[in-house]
Amino acid sequence: MLLPKRTKFRKQHKGRIKGNAKGGSSLNFGAYGLKALDPERVTSRQIEAARRAMTRHMKRAGRVWIRIFPDVPVSKKPAEVRMGKGKGSTEFWACKVKPGRIMFEIDGVPADVAKRAMELAAAKLPIRTRFVTRLGEGE
């Protein structure tokens, strides 16, 4: 699973995800990509599950690029604990994904294989997505 080697601060405020993606909204590496359509936090476990689903369907042919990185620590207090006594410990790492962001890219496989692999990956993610190609947006 992905997580930062080290961070400046251990805990972060929740914040809000507003607006569209500023960068990372075009294909840079592969011929096919998976674009986010909703603002949402994607956890490192979800990213890993999507990656595994893609590579399994592609039978480890071609190449996969992960364009998002979980750098936001999400803390959680244990169950049945009274209020107060500070913020909980870091439970998992997440990535704030804005609409328009390319999350995964694939190259080296036929279009139909890439489309199916991206569909399987999208099923593991908590957001609506779109399959995009170098030529234009497919669907």
43: left (phi over 0), alpha (psi -120 to 50) or beta: beta
User: With contact defined as beta carbons under 8 Å apart, do 44 and 93 qualify?
Assistant: yes
Domains with residue ranges and CATH for the chain: 43-76+88-133 (3.90.1170.10)
pLDDT of 83 reads 95
pTM for the model: 0.92
Helices then strands, counting H and E runs in the chain, come out as 2, 7
**Residue 135: per-residue pLDDT:** 74
Q: In terms of DSSP bridges, do strands 89-97 and 72-76 run parallel, antiparallel, or are they unpaired?
A: antiparallel
C-alpha closest to that of 2 among 50, 37, 34? 50
Positions of the chain with pLDDT under 50: none
pLDDT digit string (tens) for 87-102?
A: 999 999 999 999 999 9
Rounded Cα gap, residues 42 and 95, in angstroms? 5
